[in-house]
Amino acid sequence: MVSVSLCMIVKNEEAVLRRCLDSVADLVEEIIIVDTGSSDRTKESAGEYTDKVYDFEWINDFSAARNFAFSKATRDYIYSADADEVLDEENHRRFKILKENLLPEIEIVQMKYGNQLHFGTVYNFDEEYRPKLFKRIREFQWIEPIHETIRISPVVYDSDIVITHMPTSEHGSRDLQAFRRQIDSGVGLSRRLREMYARELLMVGEREDLLAAEDYFAQMSSQPELSPEEYMECYSVLVRIAYMKGDAPMLMKYAMKAALTEGCSEVCLELGHFYEQQGDAEEACIWFYNAAFETLPILVKDARDKAPLEGLIRVYEELGLTEQAAIYKEELRMRS
């Protein structure tokens, strides 16, 4: 049976750390906890489970902190957990079975991250796979009978383990500030982080967050080397900003650019809101319908489901077309 090091980075997690460790401590052979500056009794709580508690000076870099934690591990595999995660009884059993049967060639085990929509967190699905268990030392292997080469893609196994995410608050504001710091530092954002920044702005961004992002996404939207998906992400954010500002020319500018690219539910939804606000119910219906049925979302799943259907219901009820509104109420029920 493989051995496992549990690696965690924590800060001010006294309220939830014991809950997490109680659910997983007996499944691992080593517990490593890295504290990034707690002012509560997090370190004392951690000390009840392990003597491997380390301090790490916070440098606004989660990867640096996790790399430090991983560097302290000594077992076959590393399990990366956050303090607001819990393994329930059934998934505790599944984890134990996984340990007993894990094939040595597997380098990454993915587990389903569940309860993601709690607290309005910035996810489109309540469950989705995340890499959680990692082989500590990778063994390179030759593959192919001729023209042999080294296998560089890891061997990944999608397990049936579901980790319950139980946050005590949402982290959207913290994340958006981190994105801004990265941009302001001059380092910029990778393709992956830019997509996540756009998604978080649309899902949890406040007015000041969106206004602070306008110049960045306007500049990105003028870059010549972006993919169609990247342009659509920029346009979706800029159309939301324009609607929020009441800037009709800006809204139409980026909505037209989006239409010339391929269109998406996020932009159609904002156009629906715009025309509804202008009192043009019939035009609002067209765009809410396009958001719900004729386009696909590029960042936010709800831009094709709940939000446009609720818009259609509101507008058709305003027009006195109750039968039409009832159709979309049923559609909303089916999609919920």
pLDDT of residue 188: 87
Long-range CB contacts (within 8 A, 24+) of 218-224: 220/194, 221/254, 221/257
For 263, the 3-state DSSP assignment is coil
Number of domains the chain contains: 2
Check which CATH number belongs to the domain holding 247 and give it: 1.25.40.10
| 1 CB-near residues (< 8 Å, 6+ apart) | 99, 100
Residue type, 236: S
**Cα(13)–Cα(31) distance, rounded to whole angstroms?**
16
Q: What is the mean pLDDT of each run of 10 residues along the chain (336 residues)?
A: 97 96 98 97 97 96 96 98 95 97 95 71 68 94 87 94 82 81 90 94 94 96 94 97 96 95 94 96 96 96 95 96 96 91
pLDDT of residue 175: 86
Residue 10 bridge partners (DSSP): 35
pLDDT of residue 215: 96
Token match 């268990």: residue?
A: 133
- Domain of 15? 4-165
Domain end position, chosen among 165, 183, 208: 165
Assess whether 177 and 158 both reside in one domain.
no
Assess whether 15 and 148 both reside in one domain.
yes
Assess whether 10 and 118 both reside in one domain.
yes
Assess whether 161 and 220 both reside in one domain.
no
Assess whether 16 and 86 both reside in one domain.
yes
Assess whether 146 and 270 both reside in one domain.
no
Beta strands in the chain (DSSP E): 4-10, 30-35, 53-55, 77-80, 85-86, 108-114, 128-135, 142-143, 149-150, 156-165
Domain end position, chosen among 146, 165, 184: 165
Domain end position, chosen among 109, 130, 165: 165
DSSP letter at 292?
Answer: I
Cα torsion angle, 91, 93, 94, 99, sign = positive
Both tokens assigned to 111:
């587990």
Assess whether 82 and 190 both reside in one domain.
no
Assess whether 265 and 330 both reside in one domain.
yes
**Cα(182)–Cα(185) distance, rounded to whole angstroms?**
5
pLDDT of residue 68: 97
Assess whether 195 and 217 both reside in one domain.
yes
| Burial (0-12, 13-18, 19+ Cβ within 10 Å), 279 | exposed
**Cα(298)–Cα(202) distance, rounded to whole angstroms?**
11
Q: How many CB atoms lie within 10 A of CB 61?
A: 12
Assess whether 221 and 151 both reside in one domain.
no
Check which CATH number belongs to the domain holding 33 and give it: 3.90.550.10
Both tokens assigned to 192:
């992956």
